[in-house]
Each structure stands twice: as C-alpha cells, then as structure tokens.
A and B are shown apart, each in its own frame.
Chain A
Amino acid sequence: MKAAAPTYQGSREEFLTTRLDALVDMLRQYGVNWARKNSLWPLPFATACCGIELMGVGASRYDIARFGAEVMRFTPRQCDLLICAGRVAIKMMPVLQRIYMQMCEPKWVISMGACASSGGVFDTYAVIQGIDQFLPVDVYVPGCPPRPETLLEGVMAVQRIVEQEGIRTSRERGRGLRLTVQPAAELVQIGTEARS
C-alpha cells in the first residue's frame, strides 16, 4: 500500500464512521483486486505427477498459504483459480471444460507442467496437446514437473494479472495477459565442446 492511510482526527464518537470511511477509501484506491489477489482459492485439477508437486507446494516447506492461496477447494463453485496439473486425456477434456464452466467469475487458469501446456512426451492419440487448445489459459508454468518455487512464481504471476486487470469482466479482458513464467536461472549447456 503506497498511499498514506487516513489519520484519525475525529472525536471518540466518530471513530466507527471514520474507520469505515477509510475502508471505503482503501477499496476505491486499490480496488477489490487487492483482496482478490491475496485470497485466490485454487481448484487442484491434479491428474499426474505434477499433482504431487502441487501437494508439496501446499505443504509446510513451500507453503502456498504465504500467498493466500492455501484454500484448496474441490468444488469449482468455490474456486477462482484452476490449476491443471498433469496430462489431460481426450476423455478427460469435457470434464475439465465443465469444471471450468462451473467456476464463478472472475476466474483464472494455470497450466502447470509440460503435459498440461503442450502434451509433454505423451504425443499419442489419447492425450490433449495442451489444454490451451480448448480452454483459456492465463499462466503457463514450465517444468516436468515444475519445482514448487516455479509454481509459486506462477501463482504470483496470476496475482499480477489480478492486480492489473481491475474489476473488469471477462468479456472486457479478452484472452488475458498470457504470461509465461521465465526460469530465474540462466540455462548453461554442459558438455557441448566434448560432443562436437
């Protein structure tokens, strides 16, 4: 919060009114999105090993609760962040689409891992080659499976999207920002000289 909080100047009787005013001011300044981005409720759509990593993110060592996103709900009605962790078979795709449609607006989607984002190594007749062919995806998290830190980076990317979007409806915001989490470390290729 950058703006200075309104200082209390009134008498004792005005206390409650003043604080309510401050609250309304704050909501006007920062929008509902400030609250929204710090209380993302994920729906863990975990179909494969990425789901194990997702559990690791939820547990105490990495602790997704630090970002206010620890409330994993298993009903789409109560969620606003769909984390698709793992490969999606063709038969599973209508299920995923229905779950997405059952989520209330506003909603965001993280495609976690190589399989959900592109099919990964499973380039077969039965596996969807990237859920973004059939669903709007906001953030792609790379990795096979991604490290917990990478997923946390993805959650933070969703938080940035929520912050920047304002309280526009999905109709206004179109296809989203489509950010990709960049790996923090620079990749160094090993042993190229020896091979060539």
Chain B
Amino acid sequence: MTKTVQRVITALQEAFPDVDFAVAPLLAGRRPEEEQVCVRVPPTRLAGVMRFLYEDRRCRFEQLCDLTCVDYLNFPEATDRFGVTYALLSLTLGHRLWVKCFVNDPDPEVPSATGIWQGANWLEREVWDMFGVRFTGHPDLRRILTWEGFPAHPLRKDYPLRGRGERENYEVIHRDSA
C-alpha cells in the first residue's frame, strides 16, 4: 500500500467511523508498492462514500475506470451474492482504489454513480442488463447489450449458458416470403 492510498484509507475511516471498510489487498502476493487496495462499502452508505472519494483533497478520484459486477452464487466462503465493483483512479495523486458493494436477492439495488462520474451511465446499464442489479437514481436505466424485452439477466450464474430458447424465437424467412 502506497502512502497516498494509506492517506485515503485514513481519511475514509475518519469520515465514516461507523463503516467497516474491510481493507484488503486486491490480489495477494504483490509487492507493497504495486499493491492495489480494495475496500468494502455497504449499499446504504455507498453514495456518501463515493461523493467523499471524489471530492476530498486526499482522495481526488476523478476517474471511474470501470464499474462491473460479480455473481458470487455458490462461490466458496461467499456470504453475499452480487459484488458491484468500482475501479477508481486519481489522476492528480496517481493512486487507485477498488470499492466493492455487496447486495443480495431479491431486488439488488445500489445507488447510481452517474451524479459523480458521467461515464458510469453505460456501465451501470450493462450491469443492470447482465446481472439485474438496479441502480437507483440512474437517468436512463435501459438494457444496453440485449434487446428491450429480453426476459433474463444472462451473466447470472443460475442462467443456463445456452439460454432459455431466446435465440430460437425469430420469424423465419422462406424463399417465398422474401
């Protein structure tokens, strides 16, 4: 963990003393100067924490590199099902931080980050499309990869790889009809 990241963690713990951030390295076995840090935030506090990470002068995460989700269904030692993952980068201070927010069935819901990072718009639409995690406050939460009316969220672990017959339901064109 670099010094600037250490300062970010300290700032977080000072600003949100009631939250257990569960600070841990993202990957084990990295050298300390290369290590990236992951913090856990409950969905109820996510909006405030994200706003703080964006605005505080010790954090200054101007950029949301990625926003994705992991389905931990049947994952060993996992307690929650969906882990919405944010990859943050500070361009001025040159440090990174991973934020994970765990939500559960039914109706997994996370506050939208579009008010802070405009780029979160399509990423959140993708997570909604693929995992069915709803982002409250999103300006336009439509499906982005599958079409409107697709009945499932295909990257969930309990969705069959071959689908449930969605790909067989098109109109067939014969030589006579075209």
Contact = CB atoms under 8 A, between A and B. Distances in A.
* Chain A contact patch, size range: 20 to 34
A94 interface: yes
A60 interface: no
B166 A170 contact: no
Contacts of A127: 167
Interface in A106-140: 123-129, 133-136
A125 B170 contact: no
A125 B164 CA distance: 7
Contacts of B139: none
A125 B176 contact: no
B178 to A, nearest CB: 5
B175 A173 contact: yes
B75 interface: no
Contacts of A171: 175-176
Nearest to B169: A90
A174 B175 contact: yes
Interface string B157-178: 0011111101110111111101
A41 interface: no
Q: How large is the interface on B (under 10, 10 to 19, 20 to 34, 35 or more residues)?
A: 20 to 34
A134 B171 contact: yes
Interface of B is mostly: loop
Interface in A83-118: 90-91, 93-94, 97, 100-101
B111 interface: no
A90 B167 contact: yes
Given A90-B167, A91-B146, A133-B168, A126 B154 contact: yes
A134 B167 CA distance: 11
B153 to A, nearest CB: 11
A90 B160 CA distance: 16
A2 interface: no
Interface string A42-84: 0000000000000000000000000000000000000000000
A125 B173 contact: no
Contact of B166 (A100, A125, A136): A125
A126 B166 CA distance: 8
A176 interface: yes
Interface string A149-182: 0000000000000000000001101111000000
Contacts of A124: 161-163
Nearest to B168: A133
Interface of B: 146-147, 154, 159-164, 166-168, 170-176, 178
